[in-house]
Each structure stands twice: as structure tokens, then as C-alpha cells.
Amino acid sequence: MAEGTTKEQDMTPEDASREMRELDSIIRRANEAYFRGDAPIIDDAEYDRTKRQLRDLEQRFPELKSDDSPTETVGAPPSEGFGKATHEIRMLSLDNAFGEDELREFDARVRRFLGWESDRELQYEAEPKIDGLSISLTYSDGTLQRATTRGDGARGEVVTRNALTIPDIPQTLRNSPTFMEVRGEIYMSLNDFAALNQLQADTGAKTYMNPRNAAAGSLRQLDPGVTKSRKLQFMAHGLGGISEPFGSSQMEVMECLSGMGMPTNPLAEICRDIDDMLNYFSRLEENRSTLSYDIDGVVFKVNDTSLQSRLGSSSTAPRWAISAKFPAETAWTTLREIEIQIGRTGALSPVARLDPVTVGGVVVSNATLHNEDYIAGVGSAGLPIRDGKDLRVGDWVQVYRAGDVIPKVADVDISRRGRQSSSYVFPMICPVCESPAIREETDAVRRCSGEFTCAAQRVERLKHLVSRNAFNIEGLGDKLIEQFHSEGLIKSPVDIFRLESVVGSGDNRLEARHGWGTRSASKLFDEIEARRRIGLERVIFGLGIRHVGEGVSERLARHFGSWDAFARAVDGAVEPEGDAWAELVSVEGIGATIANSLVRAFHDKRVRTAIEELVNELQVEDVETPQVAESGISGINIVFTGTLETMTRAEAKARAEALGARIAGSVSTRTDLLVQGPGSGSKARKAEELGVRVIDEAGWLELVEAGSGE
């Protein structure tokens, strides 16, 4: 397994601050490009590596943790062609590891969370990561009731009729629980994929890029007969919701599923330490070509299911599992053009336009160039990349791809560079609105200063608002946003919710346009109308405020509970020394940078007007306190300080949130309880000043286990 990136142990706080800002910028621009449509600018390997680097720096320099580390979103919105259903337990994605260092860090992270020493045996179940389509099979009294795709993680497409045509999916199970969600992967064998593509080519139909795309396209056919003809296969890899838990380990769970009649992977093994994990990875990589199906890595899961419960999950991924990806694939091609795209926060993002080249079976014609430093051969903290070689139009470049179809330029062959070649000059003005493009000393990217006067930024903000992790308005994609904006139909967010009054009737009605009909227009208007009632966290995220990612939005929503409380807090946080400011930065993971970004947006007259007009059209749902049986801490605000002895602080926080509590990072007037361990300092003094209840770890455990509070 390839070695990961070596960390600079002697990094100064100034270097760390600069690198954290650059990493944050890279991740956010990648999120904007990927989650708003079909314009990815960074590959999966680089995305996860960058995210991990940022998280590591935040752990090493907690005093600098002011920006939220953006999280991967899960899946995609359900298609309009199928009904939708909510998963009993959310279908999460997996965090990725690229290289030995990152896999070792995963093991170390699990141990830190559990408070385990490095020499204590910790078993992992290992299995091939099939590159297919995730599916959830719901069984009631042993009979298949529903098959649902991952969708956005919370709800997916109901594809039961199609799933019933797949021979590997059992319609009935032996000795199964009363209720059970079985999670697994639908895939197509390499031979069947080749045969399908040959048939498609012979009949003049569209061919598929890879077996995963073929499997996904085949399952989503509206005609189950087409699905049946595609010879899809299925393999189970875990559970979702279940009425009666069984199995004390992941391996035992899989053996039980096999006994019920579920197909499971015979290559699964138990690894007793990190060396076993690396050995399994190497063996599988070596024998990858002998398998009948496509895999892109190995999934490692903590084997003990009780430890899985303790570890829990983040908003998008379980903490007890990791996807270790195989090394990247590369190819060489010509860089024909460097195009500048403008993001919703004004960032000028360079994208390489390439002569199309096949990398790992996928045709690549675009690649990310990150920022002007990256083009110049300079990376994080001012260190050289590609041996300091810059990138120029006309260069012969190496394209890098790992884990997904999103590529980057990894290297350049300057021996093939022409004599007339000249260094790329990064634009100093916005190519759209011609406003000055400014790069602040602390920023890794150059930004258009035009803000609301810049048409590109307005359009990108609108695309972000309707994206799947914000308002998730299906049918209102990037191209429609661009078209409606150019026609003056949608200029600001509120115009989306007034669209029907403009093009719903009369000579300008939408259904009279080319490509539209009564049904499609009605579906779009219904979808928009359905989003008038929307969760607080989606509204905050949808505003597209710089540094306010999905994770930050969720924490702000949980902490304040309602739009009015949130807006009131930001309005009052003008003075950094005031109570409102202290309250805002007390939210777990919210630092000065995020708070400043919120305050700046809410106190910009144009931005605030747009926000108020939008919110007035909505019914913003308050965040409901989780209904947790016998929990005495549900709904209260808790701060942890000092060192806990019976569990790590990370586990304590996760447990408190699971019981319905809200976790804050600092003490404020809204704090209900401070849990204090040895080594506490300023937080304990602040709690005493404010009269906040303080208990030690023993009191905390008693409170949680007894299920009674004050």
C-alpha cells in the first residue's frame, strides 16, 4: 500500500493557519463544483486527503480551529421517475483512506475515540469494496416489502419491482427478525458489462462508461423487463434498521445473513491489527484482476458491534468503518486551455481543459487546478509541488484519477514544452463582471470583489440554494437556473418561489415553451411549493454564506432551534465582546471566522434584504429536540472540559448528542451544564461566574445511566 503524505511536525502556528485556510478553500470550492451539478474540479482521492489534512491540523492546533471542515454529502437526490421512501436508518457514505498513513490514522482515530492503547487488540472485518449501486432491502416477517436506493441518505427511490427481477435478491428469508433493513450493493459482472455494451453498440444505443454506471442505469429502468435482461447481481454487506439485533460482531452478522439466504462476500476476513489490514489490502489489490466484478478498494469495519454502537456516526459517515481505496491511475495528455470559473463566494477557480484521454476506463477532458499557486508550482504553506514546475497552456501533462471520475493534473513534462511557451498569467479582474479580483493575505484564492453586482456569483448562489443538500428542488437544475436568470425570471432567491406567478399562466407560461408540457411544468411548481416548508439547517446552508458549510449549519440549527432565535443571535453579535457574540462562538465548532462571516452577511443591506424576502415566503421548521426515552439530558446545552477518565471527550459528546443534548464548545448564558474533568480551567471559572451547574465525570455518568436530571 502506498505511503501517505508526510506531515510537517515542526510547523509553526502561522504556517498551520495559512495551510488550514488553503485546505478549507480547496474543499469548499470542490463542494460547490461537485454538489451543484456536473462540473467536478477535484478527484475523490485529493478531496478526502485534503479533508483529512485539515482535520489533522485542527487537532494539532485547536486554537486555530475557526473554519468548519466541510463534510462529504451523501448520494444524490431521488429521481422523479420513481416513488420515494424514507430509510429507517440513514444510509451513510464511507470516509476514504488513500495510502498506508491514512489507514493507520483511521485505526489511531478509532482508538483515540475509545480511549484504547495502540497495543490493545482491535479486530476489523475486511471485505472487497464492490463498485456498484447501494441498495436497502426492507423485510417484514421475512418477506421483501421494499427496495430503495440510497438517494440523499435519508430517502431514496423505490425500485422494488426492478429489484425483484434480480435473482440474487431473496424474496423471502429463513428465520429472520420481524423487521430488517439489509444493506448491500447491486452490480454487474465484467463479462455481462462487456456483453451489454456490445449489444448497445450493435443497436446504436448508448454505451456505458463502466460497470457501476451500467448497473445504476439498468436498475433505474422504468420497465422492469429491461432490468431483468441486464443480469444484475447483489451482495449484502450490512444492516440498517432492525427489530431484534443479532450477532455480537460484524462477521457474525454477515454469517447470520448468509444463513437466512442472503448472498454475502466469501472473501471477507478478520484482521487482528493494522499489519493484517495492510496485508489483506495488498493481497486483494494483487488479485483484483482475477475477480469477476469491479472493485475499487477494501472496506474495513470494526468487528465488535458494541464498539460500533459506541463509535456511532458523523452526519455522513460511520466512525467505525473506512474505505481504503486502491492507488490512483494516470495518463498523459495536452493541456489546451485554462478556464476561470467564478464560485458563489467569488473565488476564481482555474480548470484545465484537456485533450480527451482515457484514465482507468473513463474519458477525462477536464481537471482541477485549484488556484493560482497550484498553477505556479507552489502548494500548501508555500512548499513546492511538481518540483516547482509551473503549468502552461500547451503543456504535456499527467492526469491523476483515484476513486472517482474527478481528475487533477499531477505532473508536467517540461522537456516537451515548446519554445514559444509562456507562463500563465492569472487574471487580476473578474472575467465576468470585470471587478477587481482580490487576494487577501490570509486567503488561498483570488476573489471577485463584485459580489451581488457579479452575475456569475448571483447565479452560483442560486444554484447552491436549490442544490440537493440545501433546498433540494428537483427539476430546477443548473441549466434552468442559468436560463431563467438570463431571462430575468429568477434574479434573487425569493423569485424561485414566485416563479409560478410569472410563468404559470398567460402568454409566457412555462408549458408553452419548447421541451415543456403541462405535466413537467406542474411537477416543477409542485416541487417548489413543497419546499416552502423546510428545515432550519437547510435554510442556513442554502444561504450560501462563506465558511458556513453543511456541518456548521446543522450545529447552528441544533443550538438555536428556530429561525428567529438564530437571526436574533447573529443580529446581536456585532460587538466581539458582547453576550450575543459569546453565544454565537460558544456553539461547538464555530469560531471567529465563521461568526464574522455570518455577521457580515446579515449586516449587508442587500444580502439581508434577499434573506428576509426569502424567509418570508417560507415556513422554516424549528429543530425538534430528539425524543429519547428515559433521558434526563434531552434538550439541554452541555459543555465538556478537562480530561475524562472513563471515556474520551469525543465519545462523551457523541453519547450526549445521542441522548438529545446539544453540545457547545464554550460556556455562555445558554449553557445548562458543565461536565468537568481534571485539568479544566477557564471554562470552569466562566461557569462559576454565570451560575452554571457543574458536575464531575462521576456525576455525569450517574445522570446519563440513571436517566434522570434536574
Instruction: Determine the 3-state secondary structure of 437 from DSSP.
Output: strand
CB 254 within 8 A of CB 236: yes
Q: Which residues contact 625 (CB under 8 A, 6 or more apart)?
A: 634, 635, 660
- Identify whether 408 is a catalytic site residue: no
CB 639 within 8 A of CB 677: no
DSSP for 62-106? Answer: GGG--S-------S-PPPTTS-EEE-SS------EE-SHHHHHHH
Cα dist from 134 to 149, 635, 657, whole Å: 6, 34, 28
Backbone CA torsion sign across 275, 276, 277, 278:
positive
Tell me phi and psi for residue 486, to 5 degrees.
Answer: -65, -30
Indicate the residue type of 343.
G
Cα separation, 92 vs 404, whole angstroms:
18
CB 453 within 8 A of CB 444: no
Q: In this structure, what DSSP letter does residue 623 have?
A: P
Burial class of residue 198, CB neighbours in 10 A (0-12, 13-18, 19+): exposed
- Angle made by CA atoms 288, 291, 297, in degrees to the nearest 5: 40
CB 182 within 8 A of CB 240: yes
Give me the torsion for CA of 94, 95, 98, 104, rounded to 10°: -110
Backbone CA torsion sign across 403, 407, 411, 415:
positive
Q: 51, 65, 129, 301: which one is catalytic?
A: 129
Cα separation, 298 vs 97, whole angstroms:
10
Instruction: Determine the 3-state secondary structure of 223 from DSSP.
Output: coil
Strands 619-621 and 348-359: unpaired
Tell me phi and psi for residue 226, to 5 degrees.
Answer: -65, -45
645-677 in b/e burial notation, b at 16+ Cβ within 10 A? eebbbbbbbbbbbebbbbbbbbbbebbbbbbbb
Report the candidate in 183, 182, 312, 306 with the shortest Cα–Cα distance to residue 250. 306
Residues with a catalytic annotation lie at: 129
